Amino acid sequence: MLKSIAILLAVVLSVFATDQLLKKIFIDGFRYYTDYIDLILVFNKGVAFSMFAFLAESLKWLQLALLAGVVGYTLWLKENRYLIPVGIMVGAGLSNVADRFIHGGVVDYVYWHYGFNFAVFNFADVMIDIAVVWLFILNYSVKKA
């Protein structure tokens, strides 16, 4: 169990630190514009596509509770194959929640606008997507005895 917690914590801290470092670059003023993608600073008060912004201050507490539940459930499962993707998801989620406490909204900075206008997102959002796909693959793949 201690080894599992150490692995989970290492992944969480790595993703969290990487995301916060990238966000600091944009908070400090970095901007870059192209015909396809703009690197700009936006504070998202909701979740994906600004959904649930009406929850305001409650949203960060709800997200913390959900992340704690994910960690608890993962440790309860005692399945080491889930540790890395869950660590990625939790590290990214905690980084976005930290933004809500520090900046009042999630720091987003990648704006894709080629062919269609997409939501502004960040590294943590991409890591959460990767973790979810990874977990689906692990969950629905056949376990070998």
Catalytic residue among 28, 35, 38, 108: 108
Contact (CB, 8 A) for 86 and 4: no
Put the strands of the sheet holding 120-121 in their side by side order.
Answer: 32-33, 37-44, 106-112, 120-121
Long-range contacts of 30-35 (CB under 8 A, 24+ apart): 35/114
Instruction: Output phi, psi for 46, to 5 deg.
Output: -110, -155
- Annotation says 125 is catalytic: yes
Decide if 129 is catalytic: no
Spot the catalytic one: 19, 38, 99, 125.
125
The residues assigned a catalytic role are 108, 125
